[in-house]
Structure 1
């Protein structure tokens, strides 16, 4: 499996060897514009059109147009700020339908932003965003516009929950104001989708929507979230010492980017011998961080990064900040229909945490919550094999089918067996095929047939 991923990354280096684009740290577009403090949340402060060729896991995808907006918003404390969002238009688009897709950036560095990672020519180490383009293509193939916000903001506040929710909602506000730029209708219907950290941020948007952006309720059809981690401290203990422990320093520095005092506590408690090693977590994107910190002990073991161990999570200020950024500690429930999907074998999220948030939201009166649990998939297989279930659920909302009333829980061997998911599975692989043969992405836009592809030189070269 590791060899396969190395081959994928090498292939992408070959594809983009002659392409270079500006890093966000060197790109003036990522600088807050003058007067941003006086704007209202959701205002478009500036925008640009970028080339309509985007990075994906295997092959670039060709779309009709791509814009990037700088959008006014707030941080966790209500202070004015701004962030970037990318809006993608497929060929033969439907301006009444928008999918807001939140990628799992999993990093505390602006270089790892989705708005940069999805651009053709971005370095392969921004692997997570490029992998998720295969799910974004699902919506584009059906003619939906896609909105993909940099929900961590310009300060890369990974795991700052309230901020991420505000940025997502403000990106939707901006998209619905953009008809003179994008053609998207102000009354367009919007679905939300996110996996892993993208699910956490999407969950926050759903939880705060009724108080932060109540006017969006008529537009919002619902949110699908998978690989969902409701509790930070629980997840950190679960990850510690595993092959995914690199998520811990990224999350710690992300929260420190929002709460400086949190960074002071980290500096005070880190093992002095490992302080430089820890600091690297502030600059690595998700994939390099996972490799660098693989099986690293942060809270347990003789030579852990934090000798205080799990007691660090009980530090009064540290604990208060972690709880403020854990959905499990928030009383609000989403005011829009929700689909939650997780695997019992998830290596990142304790499955009991997901069951607990399901029970909590149901007990607190959520109007519509469907939970589907997969017995045989983990975190990484789940993103692929549960995507058809999520897309099927979203499609049903866009087509006007009523969601469940109250709460519904189903346990399946595979979420691939979700009702009617086979069509979404076909569309998923069809999107990969379209990018491989350089079809322009959109409904009814297949310029190269499968028969033509099987006869092509590219097919013979690959197989």
Structure 2
């Protein structure tokens, strides 16, 4: 266990090394014609219908030399739904590791956390991608390390990997229903892709996502009963949740204000009325800073000004925080987890949820206790781990190995031995804590990895937007 806890930090360094290698640039989603259907025939198709497909090249994500890459990948343009449950399209990337089992699929929702479509995983995981999209997405492949390696231990034959652009082509970061629809329909598309990928249509599927990826994974779980009850999902492992987007904005405002701005911009991308109000309400001197993250992966010239982490963003608006109240219905309907769960509307697969009790990025631990309680009262199977005293970055390191074990058991068809609804407090009472990556949650730039390197991975090479 001690060795396993050291692996992620070492692997992050290795992945950065490969992320920095230069290849021919693939086209970003904003200008790549593959992201746009050639006609409107798709609008009458069922969710998960594959409109178009293409093979792509991946960098050598797990090797420290230039030997042949054991990973191959295919991208699928598929039919899905937007935040208003209207027909839309999105992309997903299906990766095949060496020795992959066509009856296993892990849907990995990467925490790309940005209101810019050019941050999407479909671009970032490609060989030759550049800038923040490359760093953000390729580094996070460390979080599914066992499923990328080419031997069969310790998790058995490797599953195929499904990595969706769950924010969609409008980069609707934190818009829960859209993220859920896109995730579920990306899985449908992956299971429909046998002719291109060799995945079996009935493959056992497990979802995994941390932090921003947790948004998509939780909402997919919440919408499963109504939108995709036919999907063969064996479980969902979801960690570091932001269960209430409004509370997340309030929590980080003045401590990690970049994240709060990204949250509001993601909602603006999906809802015109909120977008129009914010653009008219922002004071002129703050407009460039506030709107700058809309191009965080698009390499604009000149670059927008940086956002001070301790800025009180509500003072940037003429009406202060009025938008939180005027658009409460939008923020609640699309940003509060657990609202749709009841005894007749719950996932038919087990959930594994974990969060640090000192997580100062997402919300107080009590805000995660609430939707967990909603799931439990509805009769869902939930294993809930509360990592006592750990913050956002520390929890992903501490919780990674147990999550791998749980995911692997679900892929193997092993029943969860925990009671139908169990809660466990995990304390820092052993020496392994000395091996964990340390960070201060007030530094949002380190939210996923917990070290200085994360500043480049998440906020650009200069540690800022």
Provide the TM-score with structure 2 as the length reference: 0.80
Quote the residue 1:341 is aligned against.
Answer: 354
Deviations 1:3-43 (A, max 9, x none): x99x9699648942354222222321122331221222100
| Stretch deviating more after TM superposition (400-409 or 228-237) | 400-409
Equivalent residues in 2 for 1:217-236, closer than 5 Å: 219-236=232-249
User: Which residues of structure 1 form unaligned runs of 5+?
Assistant: 419-463
**Residue 26 of structure 2 is aligned to residue 21 of structure 1:** yes
| 2:124–2:130 contact (8 Å) kept in structure 1 | yes
**Residue 315 of structure 2 is aligned to residue 321 of structure 1:** no
| 1:199–1:227 contact (8 Å) kept in structure 2 | yes
Closer, same or farther: CA 393–238 of 1 in aligned 2, 3 Å: same
Q: CA deviation at 1:106?
A: 0.8
Q: CA deviation at 1:81?
A: 1.2
Q: CA RMSD in A?
A: 3.0
More helix by share: 1
2:238 & 2:62 partners in 1: Cα distance?
A: 21
Which of 410, 419, 438 is equivalent to 2:424?
410
Which of 387, 393, 396 is equivalent to 2:400?
387
Equivalent residues in 2 for 1:429-440, closer than 5 Å: none
Quote the residue 2:170 is aligned against.
Answer: 155
Quote the residue 2:374 is aligned against.
Answer: 360
Q: CA deviation at 1:329?
A: 5.8
Closer, same or farther: CA 14–273 of 1 in aligned 2, 3 Å: closer
| Stretch deviating more after TM superposition (8-17 or 249-258) | 8-17
Quote the residue 2:458 is aligned against.
Answer: none
Q: CA deviation at 1:285?
A: 4.5
Quote the residue 2:265 is aligned against.
Answer: 253
**Residue 41 of structure 2 is aligned to residue 33 of structure 1:** no
Closer, same or farther: CA 94–77 of 1 in aligned 2, 3 Å: same
Counterpart of 1:277 in 2: which secondary structure? helix
Segments of 4+ in structure 1 off by > 6 A? 56-61, 286-291, 415-418
| Stretch deviating more after TM superposition (25-34 or 408-417) | 408-417
Equivalent residues in 2 for 1:181-192, closer than 5 Å: 181-192=196-207
Q: CA deviation at 1:262?
A: 1.0
| 1:99–1:145 contact (8 Å) kept in structure 2 | yes
Closer, same or farther: CA 122–384 of 1 in aligned 2, 3 Å: farther
**Residue 115 of structure 2 is aligned to residue 108 of structure 1:** yes
Deviations 1:202-257 (A, max 9, x none): 100000011001111xx111100001111111111001011x32112222121111
Deviations 1:304-340 (A, max 9, x none): 223534443112xx11100011233613243321011
Deviations 1:182-203 (A, max 9, x none): 1111111000000001001110
User: Which residues of structure 2 form unaligned runs of 5+?
Assistant: 1-8, 150-156, 433-465
Closer, same or farther: CA 249–295 of 1 in aligned 2, 3 Å: same
Counterpart of 1:191 in 2: which secondary structure? strand
2:166 & 2:234 partners in 1: Cα distance?
A: 20
Count of residues paired in the alignment:
404
Closer, same or farther: CA 251–388 of 1 in aligned 2, 3 Å: same
2:57 & 2:338 partners in 1: Cα distance?
A: 42
| 1:229–1:235 contact (8 Å) kept in structure 2 | yes
Equivalent residues in 2 for 1:55-454, closer than 5 Å: 62-126=69-133, 127-141=135-149, 142-216=157-231, 219-242=232-255, 244-285=256-297, 292-299=307-314, 304-315=315-326, 318-328=327-337, 330-332=339-341, 333-350=346-363, 351-363=365-377, 365-403=378-416, 404-414=418-428
Counterpart of 1:325 in 2: which secondary structure? helix
| 2:15–2:138 contact (8 Å) kept in structure 1 | no
Provide the TM-score with structure 1 as the length reference: 0.80
Deviations 1:335-375 (A, max 9, x none): 32101100112121221211122222222x23200100111
Counterpart of 2:337 in 1: which secondary structure? helix
